[in-house]
Amino acid sequence: MRTFFEELAKKLADRWVGLLLLPGALFALTVWLAVRLGQAHALDWPRADAAAVLASIGRLSGGAQAILVLVALLAVTGAGLAVQALAALTRALWLGRWPRMLARPGVRRRRLRWERLVAKRRELQDAYPGETRTPEQQEQIDHAAGRITRFAPARPGRPTWIGDRLHAVERVALDRSGLDLAFGWSRLWLVLPETARAEITAASAAFTAAIAVGTWGWPYLVLGVVWWPAAVLGAVVLLVGWARARPAVDDLAALSEAAVDLHGRALAVALGVAETESRGPLTPEEGERISRLLRKGR
């Protein structure tokens, strides 16, 4: 038990340093620079005169320095907690969970582009019949299909790429297997083997970490009102978070879709929809029966 609590304390300390202390300290340093330099002297680094500030701190008594360090740690931690509270906003924006009036134009644009890509692939398939198709022509068709998949594996329903990547998992499961993941995912999770859960949890954690990184961009953008380099830094932080979120959510979506393909039948067996000896992916009929059962008339 003692070892358990020691490991827990170590993990909490690592989490505090990684998510709150270091980012908060960097932000506090940026705030200090913004106050010292302002817009008029944004890049006048000698004006910051950090050496003089450190010297003045060094002249303080030991007790005063300890209090100053404690106040700084509390301020940095408080800033970190406040910023992490904004993570829900970042998640909602990236997943495309916007008010309907704002989301509709973005969804419409993405659907039009997706439909153009699908139409292009169909034109190539019609122009190059399978019986006489050359390897080069097949490569063109495969390239067109790859563009569709990279843009959106299913008909877009969200105004952002990240949101559509997860939306496609639900859409594909419903269209191909008849399984409504809005009601079925929590039940499927309970019948997944531990290895599958671990892989999905790791991908979800990577996505959450990317959101945490991107969320730090917002306070820097706000600070840009006082010191414009902070706005540039904020934009960079947001882009880094977004760039990390894309592969993370792609892995999460791929693993979630694989879980439906490989373990959907385990859910069907657990619910009595399929026989214990049955094998293979869910059939549309089985998926629809599961969905009706789990919706419970809703």
With CA atoms as reference, report the closest residue to 237 among 261, 220, 254.
220
Query: Sign of the C-alpha dihedral, residues 158, 162, 168, 170?
Result: negative
For the chain, the first-to-last Cα distance in angstroms comes to 46
Which residues contact residue 296 at a Cβ distance below 8 angstroms, ignoring those fewer than 6 apart? none
**Nearest alpha carbon to residue 79 among 34, 119, 35, 24:** 24
pLDDT of the residue at 137 = 93
Could you count the other beta carbons within 10 Å of the beta carbon of residue 223?
21
Predicted pLDDT of residue 9 = 38
Count of CB atoms situated within 10 Å of the CB of 262: 13
Token digits for 96?
């495309």
- Answer yes or no: are the C-beta atoms of 258 and 188 closer than 8 Å: no
CA 108, 142, 166, 174 torsion-angle sign: positive
pLDDT tens-digit profile, the chain (298 residues): 344 334 433 444 345 445 567 787 888 888 888 888 888 777 776 766 654 455 555 555 666 667 756 666 677 777 777 788 888 899 999 999 999 999 999 999 999 999 999 999 999 999 999 888 999 999 999 999 999 999 999 999 999 999 999 999 999 999 999 999 999 999 999 999 999 999 999 999 999 999 989 999 999 999 999 999 999 999 999 999 999 999 999 999 999 999 999 999 999 999 998 888 888 889 999 999 999 999 986 6
* R_g of the chain computed on alpha carbons: 26
Degrees, nearest 5: CA angle 241-15-185: 65
For the chain, the three-class secondary structure string (H helix, E strand, C coil) is CHHHHHHHHHHHHHHHHHHHHHHHHHHHHHHHHHHHHCCCCCCCHHHHCHHHHHHHHHCCCHHHHHHHHHHHHHHHHHHHHHHHCCHHHHHHHHCCCCCHHHHHHHHHHHHHHHHHHHHHHHHHHHHCCCCCCCHHHHHHHHHHHHHHHHHCCCCCCCCCHHHHHHHHHHHHHHHHHCCCHHHHHHHHHHHCCHHHHHHHHHHHHHHHHHHHHHHCHHHHHHHCCCCHHHHHHHHHHHHHHHHHHHHHHHHHHHHHHHHHHHHHHHHHHHCCCCCCCCCCCCCHHHHHHHHHHHHCCC
pLDDT, position 265? 94
User: Could you tell me which of 250, 247, 239, 242 has the C-alpha nearest to residue 152?
Assistant: 250
pLDDT at residue 22, as a whole number: 78
Q: What is the pLDDT of residue 200?
A: 95
Of residues 298, 269, 270, 265, the one with CA closest to residue 281: 265
Indicate the pTM of the whole model: 0.83
Looking at residue 161, what is its pLDDT?
Answer: 97
Rounded distance between C-alpha atoms, residue 132 and residue 112, angstroms = 31
